[in-house]
Chains A and B, each alone.
Chain A
Amino acid sequence: MQTREEAPGSVRLGHTQVLESESIFVFREVAAEFERPVILFSGGKDSIVMLHLARKAFAPAPVPFTLLHVDTGHNFTEVLDYRDQTVAALGLRLEVAKVEDYLADGRLRERSDGTRNQLQTIPLLDAINGHRFDAVFGGGRRDEERARAKERIYSLRDEFGQWDPRNQRPELWSLYNGKHKPGEHVRVFPLSNWTELDIWNYIAREQIPLPSIYYAHERDVFERDGMLLAVGPYSQPRTGETAGKRLVRYRTVGDMSCTGAVTSTATSAEQVVIEVAASEITERGATRADDRASEAAMEDRKREGYF
């Protein structure tokens, strides 16, 4: 699909095409320079776009990376089904690191608030160390959150997965430096420069299928902290909160216990684009209770090795 804007006397690529080419470049760099790269794939929209770009980067050959999902045990069934169907259809290898295994044998304990996003860090680091992955692709975008705005495209992590924002390598031009010592690994964010709107425009343009919960559907929800949470095994209305059927869609898909829905009538990517463009609230602000914990919630989690 060629959408070039013709300025007088020059050929300039459109915004989406620039982003796409830059992401593909990153996938190819990593494939060439690392031994054991892995893509974090949850079946959420950002990881779906990542996988789509990786397929483009290596066509007609298959994607030369393993997939990894850190499963909180609180995932939407639609998303897990999508994940498994995709992996099967493309003949890829999927590793799953389960938070529940860690809860079962006592290596981790449930938090008092019942959410599990914070519990993903240790299973993730164990999986990275166990499989000796040296490059880990994440779908993080710099527009998502204040601390993520400071991320490099190549983010070096020590064996504890720690991120030190004061000591990041300079990253110039498109010369990505993947050199690292044994035991270190690099987190790679090929979608760094994409915004939520860019992602939806791309999904619409490329007609990428998504799990159904990204589009308007009727669901039993209740309101808490200004968010609509689904009535389900991991979140129940408390006294004073009333549940009711609403037409909603999800802007982000994470742990069911702390991922909120937004009211929506959008049934296609094109309609979501219009809603996102008109939205007055950011994606995480609208839907993620776990980022509201403190002024620097995400920064703290990243320092501990979270994405």
Chain B
Amino acid sequence: MSTPIQRQLLRLATAGSVDDGKSTLVGRLLHDCKAILADQIAHVQHVSSSRGTGDFDFALLTDGLRAEREQGITIDVAYRYFATEKRSFILADCPGHVQYTRNTVTGASTADVVIILVDARHGVLEQTRRHLAVAGLLRVPHVVLAVNKIDLVGYDEAVFKGIAKDVSQLANQLNISDVQAIPVSALVGDNIVERSPATAWYNGPTLLDYLESATGRDDTSSRPLRFPVQYVIRPQTDDQYRDYRGYTGTVASGTVSVGDEVIVLPAGRRTSVSGIDRAVISATGTAVAERPSAVAGEAVTVRLADDLDVARGSVIVSADSSPGTRRELLATVCWLSDRPLTVGARLLIKHTTTTAQAIVTKINGALDLDTLGVIDATGLELNDIGKVQLKIAAPLAADPYSSNNITGSFLLIDAHDGWTLAAGMIDDEEGELL
């Protein structure tokens, strides 16, 4: 057994319309990767036979809630874990119903690869367009178009090619650079893990081949440093750490090294990094050890040379590439709530480690899924993708989402009940929608 510690992690999300066979595809993928263990298989066999469905129902491997099993639908994102010799995977299995689009947005927000299923008999539907738009908007690096139920159209190459062409045209409009179309049958197992003899005309990768070789999101450790401060550590104990003051956080992008010249936003004060610490845990005590540097994705503690006013919400950035701060944002949002958005709405915005009040000053349009153009809109409804202008009560150290998906993303929250209303992505200077 190769040690899993050496494996790379890839995050996937599935999307597609209702009844396209997503749960079956995921069940089949897990089953054929030997990620389903004997007791889970026994459970599915037991349930399948007690319901008189007879055949082994792969969807039961993933649909865990009672209502899902009763109605044969998937209600909420379910997370699955599997590994092969080459990789480990976290899969967000997202439901297809239009009312659950917000779950697709959720799954796509962290995905390296989105697998969009299309029923070979039906081709591209509104949900396909919506999910492609979401993948484009969230800048998911890779999209797999799984043309499912290819067995039900007689393994017809022309059908596959037609759908692949439609999707690739949409992808071009949506700035999705990488789409891999694969003809599959989740039920039979064609081209999921095993290559299908019935599609001799297809010489691309199987789904698993593709997943094992796809690259993840771009490594951001060579980009400018962004380090949002989460929490300040001041032990105030009587030992060697009496005067310790460390700023904890996860490096959002770039690399931080001892001696680096940095700027602390929003104050804009300049200082340098005097230490980077990692925890040293023993049976009775907790200490820290110094390290020379830390890269994007690592949770560390940073110490600074000068005694500045640094708190949660501060962002430590590289001195020669500061984003500055803004109190107005142009952004694209996915509206996730059934309460509509109107101009003048007062909300909370959560951006990195800052939560502040915000007012929607303008709605600059919504995405028309048929034409993929922007149409005028006075408000946004559930599942709408729209363009908004926000005024914020505190200065934010923000980047465009296209250059940084951490400092470029935010949530809009209902100040009264705390519900998450929208996922937001800060526009480029050009302000293009997608």
Contacts and interface: CB of A to CB of B under 8 A. Distances in A.
B105 interface: yes
Contact of A61 (B237, B299, B418): B237
Q: Which of A17, A192, A278 has the most CB of B within 10 A?
A: A17
B88 to A, nearest CB: 5
A59 B277 contact: yes
A216 B11 CA distance: 35
B312 A32 contact: yes
A12 B283 contact: no
A165 B80 CA distance: 17
Contacts of B66: 295-296, 299
Interface in A8-35: 10-18, 20-22, 24-25, 28-29, 31-32
B221 A11 contact: yes
Contacts of B76: 150, 165-166, 168
Contacts of A73: none
Given A150-B78, A286-B39, A274 B1 contact: yes
Contacts of B250: 21, 24-25, 174
A93 interface: no
Interface stretch (B173-181, B192-200, B403-411): B403-411
B288 A59 contact: yes
B300 to A, nearest CB: 9
B286 A14 contact: no
Interface stretch (A98-106, A107-115, A198-206, A249-257): A198-206
A226 B57 CA distance: 24
Interface in B348-407: 348, 350, 353, 405-406
B4 A197 contact: yes
Contact of A146 (B64, B106, B291): B64
B413 interface: yes
Interface string B61-87: 011111101000001111111010000
A193 B110 CA distance: 13
Contact of B64 (A166, A171, A282, A299): A299
Contact of B103 (A145, A170, A195): A170
Contacts of B80: 143, 149
A55 interface: yes
A18 B63 CA distance: 27
A171 B106 CA distance: 6
Given A15-B88, A59-B279, A170-B103, A181 B418 contact: yes
Contacts of B284: 89-90
Contacts of A25: 230, 250, 299
A10 B167 CA distance: 31
A69 to B, nearest CB: 20
Contacts of A282: 37, 39-40
Contact of B79 (A7, A16, A149): A149
Contacts of A193: 79, 81, 90
Given A169-B419, A296-B64, 8 more contacts: A3-B5, A21-B299, A32-B353, A52-B281, A59-B281, A59-B286, A197-B4, A295-B66
Question: Which are the 3 A-B pairs with shortest beta-carbon distances?
Answer: A146-B64, A285-B39, A179-B418
19 contacts: A13-B297, A15-B4, A59-B286, A60-B286, A61-B234, A61-B237, A61-B244, A146-B78, A149-B79, A150-B75, A171-B420, A172-B110, A174-B406, A177-B411, A179-B413, A181-B418, A274-B1, A279-B37, A282-B39
